[in-house]
Amino acid sequence: MVDCAAMTENSARRPNSALWLGLLLAVLGVLSNGLTFLGFPASIVPWISLVLPVVGLAFVLLGLWRAFAQPTAYKGKIAGTIVAILSLVFLTAAVAYFWGARKLPHSAGAPAVGQRVPDFTLPDSSGQPVSLSQLFAAPPGGVAPKAILLVFYRGYW
Partner 1 sequence: MAISVDPADTSANLRTKKGYTFPFLSDPKAEVIRRYDLLHPAGSPEGHDIARPAEFLVDRSGVVRWENFTEDIRVRPRADQLLAAARSLP
Positions in the binding site for partner 1 (CB under 8 A): 33, 36, 41-43, 45-46, 49, 101-102, 104-105, 107-120, 122-127, 130, 132, 135-136, 144-157
Q: Tell me the closest approach of the beta carbon of residue 91 to partner 1, in angstroms.
A: 18
Q: Tell me the closest approach of the beta carbon of residue 30 to partner 1, in angstroms.
A: 13
| Integer Cα distance of 25 and 52 in angstroms | 5
β-strand partners of 5 = none
To the nearest 10 degrees (0 to 180), the angle between helices 17-31 and 45-69 is: 160
- Of 130, 111, 113, residue with least CA distance to 121: 130
Of 10 and 43, the one with the shorter C-beta distance to partner 1 is 43
Of 16 and 49, the one with the shorter C-beta distance to partner 1 is 49
- Of 102, 105, 90, 103, residue with least CA distance to 57: 90
Q: Tell me the closest approach of the beta carbon of residue 35 to partner 1, in angstroms.
A: 9
Of 33 and 81, the one with the shorter C-beta distance to partner 1 is 33
Are 60 and 76 in contact by the 8 Å Cβ rule? The answer is no
Amino acid identity of residue 97, one-letter, is: Y
Of 89 and 101, the one with the shorter C-beta distance to partner 1 is 101
Q: Tell me the closest approach of the beta carbon of residue 144 to partner 1, in angstroms.
A: 8
